[in-house]
């Protein structure tokens, strides 16, 4: 900061304009926005403008997010298929599954605003239910997904019952224990593999298990997880970006908001329940998909540590954003699945990352940009305030709020005048005034006196005659009609001239002090 | 029948201690301490280290061992409580969104904590030497073992001591002031930070006590804190966060329900019965059995 201010070349740099992709507009056509089928919502945010340099008509993409999404998702699918090793494919498969779960969780926590920790319990119920039915009755995989969906919705309905009565953190507490309870249930239930520590294998797979040894089969299995992620993202976009998401945003942050939303006729509880049910259904189906992906299920899905790890993913990425959920998953799963030889330390690292992002960032990785911008503006403002003398005693931030700019100008003039007069105060001038308070004076003294005379009435010093020609005192005027002046001190002066000079000295002292 | 009541009472007193710790912390500093499972395990391991040291010196039982186990467990958990406070409470305490961020921070601590125990103590369960001996008193048709009796007596004594101390001491007065109105307490000169850390240490110590006594039957392992944490959460919820009588009643109900279900239905149904009971309580009393406090706080 100090470096740039020393350099006169960069001092008045205003800032760069953000780059936005633009392409020439077709002159024969009006700008046409593509819209989602059956809605009025446009796919891309485009606007038409004249290029200020070439003066040609062009179309500008105002929201660059879809570009990043496309690029990121392309990387996510291209890297593992290009590398093609089994480890890479399974790593990215796990990333896609966890990311889909996290996206749905974000939908529940962010969009619906329900602090529910029952996510993995729902996934687990879908997973165990589908695996059990497939092993016992030989259900094919499409039916397993359907079973997962139904189980998820049923589970969502059960969990949502207390949500109507409880608020925020109470609900979080209630649902946190749910996974642990399901784990206990499975451990003690023989049909669900309680004997084998909850391992339930042998269910139907989307990619048959004999194909899983070939590269093609592994790639196909990975691609199915990627498609699942796309579906989850689509559901997120449909719910969060749609009308229901908009309704819920009104009731999002506080109790007052909820009251306000009710007052303007938004049934936010119903909207919340719909989002919760949809997300729970998808979570159940995700559980079933997990069973079809690894050919069964295990107790790990109900462990508290996995739940906390997934929370760490969401927190690192940034709560309430789909991109945060995906990136957080990539980071955390990358650490925990890739550096397996680190042992428990890798989970410690993931936890530490989550802790750091809670302690130091406002909303994870994707809130960082905004946070940095705020810090920068605050620092710049402070710096400017320290540098500038332009706004007199006002801070530069205050200046825009003062509509009558002549007030600022007047204050500035006064301050400069005072500084000038202060330089003229010398013992000679004081002596000159002491000799003759009235009458003709030197130029400097006359100007100082003029400044004193035009001062505002409140607290202006004046002479009060106690006994004519014998005793005078210095008083300060109140400046208000009907309020008597107050006596400044207990000194009395024998003549009018002495009293004048005492008043003069007081004003001189005030001027020096200002 | 007597055995049933006794086992219900033991469960109730153990879970009650953990639940009161959670409840206490929430009421006074407004932070949900979900690292209580980590604190629980810390007490168990501290007692285990103490027992090992004594065994190496040749002492395997006697009052030094028994009292030392209890004290070291409480001390270990109190230190863990202070540790959690210095990470999750002190830096976040005056920031925006403290409640949610505190919740997430304590969850992250509990994630890290489990792994640290795994690194330093390994995955095996560690047994503790018996505190109260191995005898049994026969009453009518059933009987009660020394460790059950000891657990109930010690838990009751400890809880009474803490409540008396809260009622009579100056520090207790400060804590109660914080529970009623944190802002008001701060205005009249109660240090939020010092009192908060004190609360964390005390609820940690209560949890540590429960940890050492539960370790008599369940041993100490890196994940042994999960079950007490979840049940403790549910009890403190059902009791109404911040209300000690409410928590005690809720603990009694949950303990009884657990013992009854395990006896007459099936062990695997215990969690769902507990969950159902708590949901029922909360549906009819959303603030829990004793919870009027939340309305005051809002």
**B173 C-beta neighbours (distance < 10 Å), count:** 14
Q: A461: closest CA among A417, A414, A510?
A: A510
Is residue A311 domain-resident?
A: no
A55 occurs within a structural domain:
no
| Domain encompassing residue A466 | 425-513
Considering A15-24, A229-238, A297-306, the range whose residues carry the highest mean pLDDT is: A229-238
Domain count, chain A: 2
Interface residues on A facing B, Cβ-Cβ cutoff 8 A: 115, 161-162, 165-170, 172-174, 176-178, 180-182, 184-185, 187-189, 194, 255, 304-305, 308-309, 311-312, 315, 343-345, 347-348, 350-352, 354-355, 358-359, 362
- Does B267 contact A188 at a Cβ distance shorter than 8 Å? yes
At residue B292, the pLDDT reads: 53
A293 in a domain, yes or no?
Answer: yes
In the stretch 95-114 of chain B, residues with CB closer than 8 A to chain A read 96, 99-101, 103-105, 107-112, 114
CA distance B12 to chain A (A): 18
Per-residue pLDDT averaged across B131-154, rounded? 76
Question: Residue A424 and residue A445: Cα distance in Å, rounded?
Answer: 8
The whole-number pLDDT of residue A393 equals 65
Is residue A443 one of the residues assigned to a domain? yes
pLDDT, mean of residues B98-126: 88
Q: What is the mean pLDDT of residues B117-146?
A: 78
pLDDT band for position A313 (cuts 50, 70, 90): very high
Q: Does B273 touch chain A (CB under 8 A)?
A: no
- Cα R_g (chain B), whole angstroms: 19
Taking an 8 Å cut-off on Cβ atoms, the answer to whether A352 and B112 are in contact is yes
In a domain, A63, yes or no: no
End-of-domain residue from the set A302, A330, A345: A302
**Interchain CB distance below 8 Å, A174 and B107:** no
Q: Determine the residue among B21, B36, B111, B231 to mutate to test chain A binding: the one whose Cβ has the most chain A Cβ atoms within 10 Å.
A: B111
Q: What is the pLDDT of residue A461?
A: 93
Chain B residues in contact with A345 (beta carbon < 8 A): 115, 119
Which of the listed residues A302, A319, A341 is the one where a domain comes to its end? A302
pLDDT band at B92 (very low <50, low <70, confident <90, very high): confident
| pLDDT (mean) for A148-165 | 88
The C-alpha atoms of residue A513 and residue A479 are separated, in whole angstroms, by 22
Q: Where are the beta strands (DSSP E) in chain B?
A: 136-139, 142-145
| Domain end (from A274, A302, A330) | A302
Select the residue of B96, B104, B112 nearest A348 (Cβ to Cβ): B112
What is the per-residue pLDDT for A14?
Answer: 63
pLDDT at B188 over 80: yes
A452 vs B100, which has greater pLDDT?
Answer: A452
Tokens for A443? 């130029």
**Mean pLDDT, all residues of chain A:** 86
Q: Which pLDDT does position A70 carry in this prediction?
A: 93
- For testing contact with chain A, the best of B95, B99, B108 (most A CBs within 10 A): B108
Cβ neighbours of A312 in B, within 8 Å: 108, 111
Q: How confident is the model at residue A140 (pLDDT cuts 50, 70, 90)?
A: confident
Determine the residue of chain A that is closest to B114 in CA distance: A305
Nearest to A104 by CA among A297, A253, A235: A235
* Residue A483 counted as domain residue: yes
If you measure CA to CA, which chain B residue comes closest to A255? B298
Residue A288 near residue A134 (C-beta atoms within 8 A): no
Residue A209 located in a structural domain: yes
For A215-236, give one letter per residue: b (16+ CB within 10 A) or e.
eebbbebbbbbbebbebbbebb
Contact by Cβ (8 Å): A297, A290:
yes
Q: How many CA atoms lie within 13 A of B269 on its CB side?
A: 12
Put simply, the answer to whether A185 touches B114 (Cβ < 8 Å) is no
Question: Tens digits of per-residue pLDDT, B237-271?
Answer: 888 877 788 888 888 888 888 888 888 877 777 87
Looking at residue B296, its pLDDT comes to 45
Domains and CATH numbers, chain B: 2-297 (1.10.3470)
Q: Per-residue pLDDT averaged across A2-6, rounded?
A: 44
Query: Cβ separation of A348 and B115 shorter than 8 Å?
Result: yes
Nearest to B111 among A189, A194, A305 (CB): A305
Nearest CA to CA, how far is A282 from chain B (Å)? 24
Least Cα distance to A99 among A79, A121, A72, A118 occurs for: A72
Q: Is A241 helix (H, G, I), strand (E, B) or coil?
A: coil
CB contact under 8 A, A165 and B99: no
Report pLDDT for A16.
Answer: 67
Q: What is the predicted pLDDT for the residue at A503? A: 94
Between chains, do B268 and A115 touch, taking CB under 8 Å as contact?
no
Condensed to tens digits (0 to 9), the pLDDT of residues B159-177 reads 889 888 888 999 889 988 8
Q: Are B275 and A178 in contact (CB under 8 A)?
A: yes
Burial call B75-103: b when 16+ CB within 10 Å, e when fewer: bbbbbbbbbbbebbbeebbeeeebbbbbb
Closest by Cα among B103, B93, B112 to B38: B112
For residue A240, being part of any structural domain is answered with yes
* Spatial CA neighbour of A236 closest among A324, A108, A65, A67: A108
Look at residue A2 and tell me whether its pLDDT is greater than 60: no
Test A173 with B105 for CB contact under 8 angstroms: no
Chain A neighbours among B 6-45 (CB < 8 Å)?
Answer: 32, 34, 37
For chain B, the average pLDDT equals 84
**Residue in the block written with tokens 């520590």:** A197
Helix axes A496-513, A405-424, angle to 10 degrees: 120
pLDDT tens readout for residues A44-75: 888 888 888 888 888 898 888 889 999 999 99
Minimal-distance CA residue of chain B relative to A305: B111
Instruction: Using an 8 Å CB-CB cutoff, list chain B residues near A339.
Output: none
Show the CA angle centred on residue B213, arms to residues B87 and B9, nearest 5°.
115
Residues of B in contact with A306 (CB under 8 A): none
């Amino acid at each position: 900061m100090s470096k740039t201010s020393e350099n006169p070349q960069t001092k008045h740099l205003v800032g760069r304009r953000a780059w936005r992709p633009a392409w020439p507009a077709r002159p024969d056509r009006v700008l046409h926005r593509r819209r989602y089928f059956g809605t009025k919502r446009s796919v891309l945010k485009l606007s038409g403008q004249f290029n200020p340099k070439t003066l040609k008509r062009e179309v500008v993409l105002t929201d660059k997010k879809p570009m990043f999404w496309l690029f990121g998702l392309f990387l996510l699918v291209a890297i593992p298929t290009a590398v093609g090793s089994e480890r890479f494919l399974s790593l990215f498969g796990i990333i896609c599954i966890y990311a889909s779960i996290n996206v749905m969780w974000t939908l529940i926590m962010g969009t619906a605003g329900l602090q529910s920790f029952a996510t993995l319990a729902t996934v687990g119920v879908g997973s165990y239910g589908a695996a059990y039915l497939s092993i016992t009755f030989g259900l094919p995989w499409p039916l397993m997904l359907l079973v997962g969906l139904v189980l998820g919705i049923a589970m969502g309905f059960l969990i949502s019952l207390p949500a109507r009565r409880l608020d925020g953190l109470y609900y979080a507490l209630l649902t946190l224990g749910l996974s642990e309870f399901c784990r206990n249930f499975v451990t003690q239930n023989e049909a669900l593999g309680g004997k084998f520590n909850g391992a339930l294998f042998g269910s139907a797979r989307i990619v048959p298990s004999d194909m899983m040894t070939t590269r093609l089969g592994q790639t196909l299995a990975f691609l199915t997880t990627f498609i699942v992620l796309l579906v989850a993202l689509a559901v997120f976009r449909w719910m969060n970006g749609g009308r229901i998401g908009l309704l819920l945003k009104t009731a999002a942050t506080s109790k007052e908001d909820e009251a306000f939303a009710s007052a303007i006729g938004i049934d936010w509880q119903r909207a919340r329940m719909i989002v919760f049910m949809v997300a729970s259904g998808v979570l159940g189906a995700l559980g079933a998909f997990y069973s079809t992906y690894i050919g069964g299920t295990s107790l790990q899905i109900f462990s508290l540590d996995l739940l906390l790890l997934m929370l760490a993913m969401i927190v690192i990425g940034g709560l309430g954003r789909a991109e945060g959920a995906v990136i957080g998953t990539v980071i955390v799963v990358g650490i925990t699945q890739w550096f397996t030889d680190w042992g428990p330390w890798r989970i410690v690292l993931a936890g530490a990352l989550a802790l750091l992002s809670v302690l130091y960032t406002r909303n994870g990785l994707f809130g960082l940009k905004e946070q940095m911008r705020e810090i920068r503006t605050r620092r710049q403002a402070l710096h400017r305030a320290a540098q500038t003398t332009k706004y007199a005693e006002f801070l530069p931030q205050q200046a825009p709020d003062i509509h009558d700019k002549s007030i600022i100008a007047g204050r500035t003039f006064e301050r400069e005048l005072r500084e000038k007069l202060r330089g003229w105060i010398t013992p000679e001038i004081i002596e000159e005034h002491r000799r003759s308070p009235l009458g003709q004076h030197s130029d400097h003294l006359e100007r100082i006196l003029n400044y004193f005379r035009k001062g505002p009435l409140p607290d202006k010093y004046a002479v009060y005659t106690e006994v004519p020609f014998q005793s005078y005192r210095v008083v300060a005027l109140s400046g208000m009609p009907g309020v008597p002046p107050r006596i400044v001190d207990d000194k009395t002066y024998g003549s009018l001239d002495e009293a004048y000079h005492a008043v003069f000295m007081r004003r001189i002292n005030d001027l020096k002090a200002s | 029948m007597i055995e049933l009541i006794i086992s219900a009472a033991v469960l109730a007193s153990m879970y009650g201690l953990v639940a009161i710790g959670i409840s206490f912390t929430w009421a006074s500093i407004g932070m949900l301490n979900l690292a209580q499972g980590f604190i629980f395990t810390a007490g168990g391991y501290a007692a285990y280290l103490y027992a090992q040291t004594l065994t190496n010196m040749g002492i395997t039982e006697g009052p030094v061992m028994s009292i030392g186990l209890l004290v070291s467990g409480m001390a270990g958990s109190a230190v863990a409580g202070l540790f959690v406070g210095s990470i999750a409470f002190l830096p976040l305490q005056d920031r925006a969104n403290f409640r949610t961020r505190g919740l997430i921070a304590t969850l992250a601590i509990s994630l890290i904590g489990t792994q640290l125990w795994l690194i330093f103590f390994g995955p095996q369960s560690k047994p503790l030497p018996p505190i109260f001996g191995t005898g049994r008193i026969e009453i009518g048709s059933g009987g009660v073992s020394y460790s059950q009796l000891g657990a109930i007596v010690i838990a009751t004594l400890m809880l009474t001591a803490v409540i008396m101390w809260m009622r009579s001491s100056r520090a207790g007065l400060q804590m109660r002031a914080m529970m009623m109105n944190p802002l008001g307490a701060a205005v009249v000169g109660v240090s939020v930070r010092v009192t908060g850390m004190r609360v964390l240490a005390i609820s940690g110590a209560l949890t540590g006590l429960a940890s050492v006594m539960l370790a008599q039957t369940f041993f100490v392992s890196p994940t042994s804190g999960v079950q007490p944490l979840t049940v403790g959460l549910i009890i403190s919820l059902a009791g109404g966060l911040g209300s000690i009588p409410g928590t005690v009643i809720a603990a009694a109900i949950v303990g009884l329900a657990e013992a009854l279900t395990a006896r007459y239905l099936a062990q695997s149904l215990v969690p769902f019965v507990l969950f159902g009971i708590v949901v029922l309580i909360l549906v009819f009393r959303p603030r829990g059995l004793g919870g009027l406090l939340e309305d005051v706080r809002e």
